């Protein structure tokens, strides 16, 4: 079921379906892909052969808010890059699993590690490799340019692109559905 994204704090309940809000309220673990979700999906190589990616600062801030609210996050990616390890550390991601094309065993490992059920997981993806996880997660989230198969199984599609605030949008949805967004705002005297 595809729905519109939340943008205004006071009106999000009227824009997002009750099903998505109910699913979001149960989430305690956020699992993300990198390319196309945390980054814009482009892979750039410098003249030395090092990989470059573009990340969104609001996604990083959102992950810090998520962690400060007491929740866990993880990245499962098919590629391996030093810069992803660095960015995950900056964003206070609890677990990073790289170079994993078959993501389901990594997903199952995270469920055991964090002692959560499928219903407590929000998974974000954009391509076929995420389908097994998205089909099991309590809340499956796609980015706007995700492949059609991912959009079909997702409960929610962000309005913001991957690498351009899609993760932040999802975290705001989760925190608002859980009723803790106002606590985040209080930290910043809003």
Specify the pLDDT at position 42. 78
- β-pairing, 51-52 vs 44-45, is antiparallel
Specify the pLDDT at position 14. 53
Tell me which DSSP letter residue 103 carries: H
Q: What would the mean pLDDT of 118-138 be, rounded to a whole number?
A: 97
Specify the pLDDT at position 44. 79
What interhelical angle do 57-68 and 166-177 show, nearest 10? Answer: 30
Has residue 3 got a pLDDT over 50?
no
Q: What would the mean pLDDT of 89-98 be, rounded to a whole number?
A: 94
Burial 115-148 (b: 16+ CB within 10 A, else e): ebeeebbbbbbbbebbbbbbebbbbbbbbbebee
Q: With bands split at pLDDT 50, 70 and 90, how would you rate the model's confidence at 8?
A: very low
**Which position has the higher pLDDT, 42 or 103?**
103
E strand or H helix that includes residue 51 = strand 51-52
Smallest CA-to-CA distance from 92 within 115, 111, 68, 123 is with: 68
Has residue 6 got a pLDDT over 80?
no
Q: What would the mean pLDDT of 108-121 be, rounded to a whole number?
A: 97
E strand or H helix that includes residue 17 = none
Can you read off the two tokens belonging to residue 148? 């059609």
Specify the pLDDT at position 27. 98
Q: What would the mean pLDDT of 58-86 be, rounded to a whole number?
A: 93
Q: Write the burial class of residue 69 (CB in 10 Å: 0-12 exposed, 13-18 middle, 19+ buried).
A: middle
Smallest CA-to-CA distance from 153 within 142, 144, 162 is with: 142
Portion of the chain with pLDDT greater than 70, in percent? 92
Can you read off the two tokens belonging to residue 146? 């995700």
Report the C-alpha gap between 138 and 133 in whole angstroms.
Answer: 10
Domains by residue range for the chain, with CATH: 12-187 (3.40.50.1000)
Please count the other Cβ atoms lying within 10 Å of the Cβ belonging to residue 18: 8
């Amino acid at each position: 079921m595809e729905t519109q994204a939340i943008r205004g704090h006071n009106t999000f309940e009227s824009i997002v379906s009750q099903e998505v809000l109910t699913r979001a309220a149960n989430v305690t673990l956020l699992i993300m892909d990198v390319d196309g979700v945390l980054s814009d999906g482009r892979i750039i190589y410098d003249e030395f052969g090092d990989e470059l990616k573009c990340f969104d600062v609001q996604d990083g801030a959102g992950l810090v808010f998520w962690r400060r609210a007491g929740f866990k996050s993880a990245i499962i990616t098919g590629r391996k890059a030093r810069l992803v390890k660095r960015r995950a550390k900056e964003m206070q991601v609890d677990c990073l699993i790289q170079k994993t094309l078959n993501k389901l065993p990594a997903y199952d490992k995270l469920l055991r590690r964090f002692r959560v059920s499928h219903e407590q997981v929000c998974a974000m993806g954009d391509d076929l490799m995420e389908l097994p996880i998205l089909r099991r997660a309590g809340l499956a989230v796609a980015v706007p340019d995700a492949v059609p198969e991912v959009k079909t199984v997702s409960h929610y599609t962000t309005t913001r692109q991957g690498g351009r605030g899609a993760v932040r949008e999802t975290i705001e949805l989760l925190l608002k559905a859980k009723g803790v967004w106002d606590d985040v705002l209080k930290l910043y005297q809003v």
